[in-house]
Amino acid sequence: MLRLTMKSFTLGSMVALSTATSVFAQVPVLQNLQLVQAPSFNCGPHVRTYVVKPLDNRRGFGIRCVKFSEGRPGQTRIPRLAWYGEGNWGGATYRHVGQAIYRGSNLVGFASDIHGNGEDINNNFPGNLKIQVLGSKIRVTGAWNEEWQLVNATNYNPLPRPRTCGGYFDEYKVSDLTGSRRGNGLRCVLTVGPKNTTWFGNGNWEGSTYSHIGTRSFNGYGAGDVCGAGFGPICNTFGWGSLKLNSVPGGFDVTGAWSEKWR
């Protein structure tokens, strides 16, 4: 994976995507929101930053780093969105990876908790989430009961970087495919929903840390770095079809824009 571009953006530099004519094709555009004072965290320019509030009486707070794809009604293998989330409910910490895919005209969510790094909560959600994209908000009901609000930034201190995925994922350790780069990484690939579709990854190349969300669209796989504080300074994006996941015994060889061995 060639990762040379370091983070060089300001909190207000997120580019609003054009609003498409079809309601199903719309990507939320950030509105003028009343943010908390002295905002300090966002997910970076290549994924969108949401803050989470409960729709019930739970205490807690969290963030969601969301990557939109091109899924639409009738297409059952392309996510409409994929995300990495973390936070706490009632003082209990969690982190998870999720994807939402159309089943008919409804967006169905799949998510799994990353566990084994000190997180308190460890659950799995194999298609029992209802996802609604409502302008600058995303509402999640069913097994969850929460609303995500799109923001430029918020006050949030991320959890320590995960070192293991837990039992709900296909977990791979990463090294350079040719052995020429110094570094290693972790890939947590969702097994709920269409397999080998969405993952969260982190690691370091030549001592510089990174985190990213990967998923796919009609032209193939792509990824966006999560480059907020605590996730790493490397900040790149990789367009649809730029990544090739080639199945080999024990994992994948990833080629194209990246050169990685997942085992």
pTM of the model: 0.86
Tell me the pLDDT tens digit for each residue of 205-249. Answer: 999 999 999 999 999 999 999 998 999 999 999 999 999 999 999
Determine the Cα–Cα distance for residues 181 and 192; give it in Å rounded to an integer.
Answer: 32
Q: Say whether pLDDT at 176 is over 60.
A: yes
Closest to 168 in 3D by CA, of 146, 136, 200, 130? 200
The answer to which of 9-13, 45-49, 185-189, 196-200 has the lowest mean pLDDT is 9-13
Q: Are the C-beta atoms of residues 97 and 188 closer than 8 Å to each other? A: yes
Q: Is 34 exposed, middle or buried (0-12, 13-18, 19+ CB in 10 A)?
A: exposed
Query: Contact, 35 vs 153, CB < 8 A?
Result: yes
Asked if residue 16 lies in contact with residue 30, where contact means CB atoms within 8 angstroms, the answer is yes
Token pair of 158 as six digits = 């991320």
The reported pLDDT for the residue numbered 28 is: 66
Per 3-state DSSP, the chain is made up of helix, strand and coil in percentages (nearest 5) of: 0, 50, 50
Residues 179-211 pLDDT 10s: 999 999 999 999 999 999 999 999 999 999 999
Q: What is the mean pLDDT of residues 21-27?
A: 45
Q: Would you tell me how many other CB atoms lie within 10 Å of the CB of residue 17?
A: 13
Which residues are CB-contacts of 180 (< 8 A; sequence separation ≥ 6)?
Answer: none
Cα dihedral 103, 85, 26, 147 sign: positive
